[in-house]
């Protein structure tokens, strides 16, 4: 299965950091967010990845490319561990790029993948969303696809006051954690939300999504929304939502970025013990 990673958005929620650099390249400690996303696809068994880029996103291509000068210097200085780490990044997968001409919305970005994915199902991982889980979230979706052979959207239960920032699924529980989709709404007001199942940044889609995107009119924010295209598709065929195991961080959102930075630092052996002491001191 191929993976598509849309990374062409404007990232206005993270200005000014994203004025001259892609938000997908913001580091979580020392690794760009999009590398976590690519690693999740690879850990799910995927080796063909299409990244949707756009204006001002060249740093993403450079990051996954080989850096001869850097490798030469690291080799000369005997920094073999770092050298291996750098080589591993450019060997991660077969990565392709296509540019979205204008950031006209997530649905429009996905449409650019039409030729590359052809007639096969594919997964979409948002380039600014990371998910911490035992089994990679993408792999969880792929496993359920084997059973249902239909599009599956990753969802999580969301606090009522946060629902307005999500696409929301109205679904009927068909087995533990799996819902058959009845309807979808993009960013509803809390009182209009049909459920607390918020769409997170992973989807397993079938090629009929492209027709649905074609039929989708601009929605919230004047953009072609993927949720609206999924809504059109859900009226024609079975579709599922899966309440995945794991914690998702939307790193295009400052609060999630701060949380993820603290949590990931606490998990790293080199930082965890002094960070705990430091946090205790701060709390006093
Ligand atoms: P977001 O919903 O975070 O939108 O996109 P955004 O425009 O990038 O960010 P804000 O709201 O202005 O802060 C989710 C993912 O979809 C990609 C983004 O790059 C991000 O990885 N995207 C979004 C596109 O590739 N193209 C678009 O037109 C919009």
CB-based contact 32:24 (threshold 8 Å): yes
- Quote the pTM value: 0.96
Minimal-distance CA residue to ligand 1 atom 25 = 8
CB-based contact 259:157 (threshold 8 Å): no
Picking from 118, 129, 90, 116, the residue whose alpha carbon sits closest to that of residue 256 is 129
CB-based contact 120:1 (threshold 8 Å): yes
| Res 257: pLDDT | 96
Each of the 284 residues of the chain gets a pLDDT tens digit; together they read: 999 999 999 999 999 999 999 999 999 999 999 999 999 999 999 999 999 999 999 999 999 999 999 999 999 999 999 999 999 999 999 999 999 999 999 999 999 999 999 999 999 999 999 999 999 999 999 999 999 999 999 999 999 889 998 999 999 999 999 999 999 998 999 999 999 999 999 999 999 999 999 999 999 889 999 999 999 999 999 999 999 999 999 999 999 999 999 999 999 999 999 999 999 999 99
Domains of the chain from N-terminus onward? 2-252 (3.90.550.10)
Residue 9 CB–ligand 1 contact under 6 Å? yes
DSSP calls for 235-251: TTS--EEEE-SSEEEET
| Res 246: pLDDT | 96
Rounded distance from Cα 102 to ligand 1 centre (Å): 11
Ligand 1 atom nearest to 250, measured from its CA: 3
Minimal-distance CA residue to ligand 1 atom 1 = 9
**E strands, the chain, where?**
2-6, 27-28, 31-32, 48-53, 94-99, 122-125, 129-132, 152-157, 167-175, 178-186, 197-205, 240-243, 247-250
Minimal-distance CA residue to ligand 1 atom 23 = 9
| Res 131: pLDDT | 97
The residue to mutate among 12, 18, 106, 226, having the most atoms of ligand 1 within 8 angstroms of its beta carbon, is: 106
Q: How far, in Å, CA of 180 to CA of 169, rounded?
A: 9
Cis, bond preceding 16 (omega within 30 deg of 0):
yes
3-state secondary structure (DSSP) of residue 130: strand
């Amino acid at each position: 299965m191929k993976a598509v990673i849309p990374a062409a958005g404007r990232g206005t929620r993270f200005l000014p950091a994203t004025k001259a650099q892609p938000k997908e390249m913001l580091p979580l400690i020392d690794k760009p967010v999009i590398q976590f996303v690519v690693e999740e696809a690879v850990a799910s068994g995927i080796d063909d990845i299409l990244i949707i880029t756009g204006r001002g996103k060249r740093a993403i291509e450079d990051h996954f490319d080989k850096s001869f000068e850097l490798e030469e210097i690291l080799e000369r200085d005997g920094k073999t561990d770092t050298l291996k780490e750098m080589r591993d990044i450019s060997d991660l997968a077969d990565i392709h790029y296509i540019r979205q001409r204008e950031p006209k919305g997530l649905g429009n970005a996905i449409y650019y993948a039409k030729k590359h994915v052809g007639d096969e199902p594919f997964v979409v991982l948002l380039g600014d969303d990371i998910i911490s889980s035992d089994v990679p979230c993408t792999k969880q979706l792929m496993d359920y696809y084997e059973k249902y052979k239909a599009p599956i959207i990753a969802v999580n239960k969301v606090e009522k006051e946060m629902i307005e920032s999500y696409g929301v699924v109205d679904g009927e529980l068909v087995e533990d954690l799996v819902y058959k989709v009845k309807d979808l709404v993009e960013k509803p007001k809390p009182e209009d939300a049909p459920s607390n199942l918020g769409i997170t940044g992973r989807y397993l889609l079938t090629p009929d999504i492209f027709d649905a995107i074609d039929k989708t009119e601009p929605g919230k924010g004047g953009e072609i929304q993927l949720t609206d295209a999924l809504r059109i598709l859900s009226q024609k065929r079975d579709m599922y939502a899966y309440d995945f195991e794991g914690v998702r961080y939307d790193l295009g959102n400052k609060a999630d970025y701060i949380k993820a930075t603290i949590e990931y630092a606490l998990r790293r052996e080199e930082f965890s013990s002094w960070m705990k002491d430091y946090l205790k001191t701060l709390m006093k």
